[in-house]
């Protein structure tokens, strides 16, 4: 174990080690080379790996992803950066139609990674704070991961790069340099398997299912409940597509009370999907309605006064948990 590092540094290390390990890995994106990325995730990469493997591109997200797809067909392992994940919208067609359907159509895997900063809490306003996961979760052929811890940030970027299919890797920008989640990581190479959730906290009275930055609020709420004699289980999904149905089923059967917490907006958010999954697999174990805490159905607002109201927080989680517990 080394020194505790940030979530951002963990992503950086994961990318760095994969580039050292496998010369097919290369990166492309806007301002990733000379500047080292808008958030400095790729700082020092140009100097180490050179212009052929660290490619500063024009402002052309569809071009970036399309080129990544083509290179992957040639046996390369491209990692494309979206400066903010909001701009992934400009590459929607390449991702959902070209990348996602190639294997199914004619057997060609498209092992690309598309990564970028997502999420709110930094006063970025409606175009620098989005959580676009569900557009992609709705697309068979893609994989979508969203690490919420420093350990997972590194393990999942490595797994994503080694994966044979297109992976959308959502980094939460609020977590990038958050001191609270600094962590000392193993010296040796490791991956976090895609498709596997992690139990952050074991309990028997209520299950909180979450991912990304929201697990912090769940952990805080669980801590408070613990002092009141309520034992909470916190399940961090880590991967949104494919969902870890077994883990969801297991925790539901264990506690019978499920609270789903996500930063993404409500309608069409993954809570709906998880609820359906629970109905299919563990309905008779439920001891109350599956409940959700999410952002409301609106764009992410800019003003602190609005954004603080908009985003889920531990108070909202606690309130919902108490409601469910007393059902």
Partner 1 sequence: MPRTSRNAAKKHPRKGKSAESAHPKRPAESLPASALSKSQLLDLYRYLKLNRMIEERLSALYRQGKVQGGLYSSKGQEAISVGSAYALATQDVLAPMIRNLGAMLVRGVNPVEFFLQYMQKEGSPCKGRDTSLHFGGIDRGFVPPISHLGTLIPVLSGVALAGRMQGKNLVALTYIGDGATSTGDFHEGLSLASVRRLPLVVLIENNRWAYSTPVSAQSLLLDLADKARAYGIPQGVVDGNDVLAVHEATSRAADLARRGQGPVLLEAKTMRMRGHSEHDDAWYVPEEERRFWEKRDPILLYEKHLLGTGVAIKDELSRIESACAAQIDADLAIAEAAPFPRPESCVEDIYAPEQDASEGLAEEAPRAARRS
The per-residue DSSP string of 238-255 comes to -EEES--HHHHHHHHHHH
83 belongs to the binding site for ligand TPP (CB under 6 A) = yes
DSSP H or E segment with residue 141: none
Check binding of 56 to partner 1 (CB under 8 A): yes
Tokens of 124: 């970025």
Q: Choose the one of ligand TPP, partner 1, none that binds residue 327, judging by a C-beta under 5 to 8 angstroms depending on kind.
A: none
Assess 117 for contact with partner 1 (CB under 8 A). Answer: no
Does position 297 bind partner 1 by CB under 8 A?
yes
Instruction: Considering only the stretches 247-255, 279-287, 307-315, 316-324, report the one whose residues sit in contact with partner 1 under the rule CB under 8 A.
Output: 307-315
Active-site residue, selected from the candidate residues 128, 172, 217, 262: 128
Q: Residue 319 belongs to what H/E stretch? A: helix 314-325
Q: Do 45 and 27 meet the contact criterion of CB atoms below 8 Å apart?
A: yes
Min separation Cβ 316 and partner 1, Å? 13
Locate 224 and state its tokens: 């408070």
- Residue 42 is classified by DSSP as T
Contact pattern for ligand TPP over residues 40 through 59, marking x by CB under 6 A: -------------------x
Q: Which of 184, 209, 183, 220 is nearest to 273 (CA)?
A: 209
Pick the binder of partner 1 from 4, 193, 299, 323 (CB under 8 A): 299
Residues 89-108 that bind partner 1 (CB under 8 A): 89-90
Closest CA relative to residue 209, chosen from 309, 324, 307: 324
Measured distance CA(65)–CA(304) in Å, rounded: 33
292 forms beta bridges with 260
Quick check: is 262 catalytic? no
264 is a contact residue toward partner 1 (CB under 8 A): no
| Contacts with partner 1, residue ranges (CB under 8 A) | 30-31, 34-35, 38, 56, 58-60, 62-63, 83-84, 86-87, 89-90, 122-128, 296-299, 301-310
Active-site residues: which are they? 128
| Contacts with ligand TPP, residue ranges (CB under 6 A) | 30, 59, 61, 83, 87, 90
């Amino acid at each position: 174990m080394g020194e505790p590092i940030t979530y951002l540094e963990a992503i950086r290390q994961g990318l760095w080690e994969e580039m050292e390990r496998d010369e097919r890995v290369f990166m492309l994106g806007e301002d990733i080379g000379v500047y080292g990325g808008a958030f400095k995730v790729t700082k020092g990469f140009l100097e180490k790996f050179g212009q052929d493997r660290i490619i500063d591109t024009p402002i052309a997200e569809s071009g970036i992803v399309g080129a990544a797809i083509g290179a992957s067909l040639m046996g390369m392992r491209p990692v494309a950066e979206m400066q903010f994940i909001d701009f992934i919208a400009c590459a929607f067609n390449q991702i959902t139609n070209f990348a996602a359907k190639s294997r199914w159509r004619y057997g060609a895997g498209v092992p690309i990674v598309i990564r970028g900063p997502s999420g709110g809490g930094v006063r970025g306003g409606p175009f620098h704070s989005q959580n676009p996961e569900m557009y992609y979760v709705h697309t068979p052929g893609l994989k979508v991961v969203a690490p919420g811890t420093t350990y997972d940030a590194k393990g999942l970027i490595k797994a994503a790069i080694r994966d044979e299919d297109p992976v959308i890797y959502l980094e939460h920008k609020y977590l990038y340099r958050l001191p609270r989640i600094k962590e000392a990581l193993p010296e040796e190479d490791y991956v976090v398997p895609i498709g596997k959730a992690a139990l952050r906290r074991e309990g028997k009275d209520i299950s909180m299912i979450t991912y990304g930055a929201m697990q912090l609020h769940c952990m805080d709420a669980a801590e408070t409940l613990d002092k009141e004699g309520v034992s909470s289980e916190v399940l961090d999904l880590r991967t949104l597509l494919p969902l870890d149905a077994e883990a969801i089923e297991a925790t539901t059967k264990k506690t019978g009370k499920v609270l789903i917490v996500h930063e993404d907006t409500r309608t069409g958010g993954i809570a709906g999907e998880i609820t359906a999954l629970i109905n299919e697999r563990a309905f008779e174990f439920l001891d109350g309605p599956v409940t959700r805490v999410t952002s409301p159905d609106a764009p992410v607002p800019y003003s602190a006064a609005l954004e603080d109201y908009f985003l889920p927080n531990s108070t909202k989680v606690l309130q919902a948990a108490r409601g469910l517990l007393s059902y």
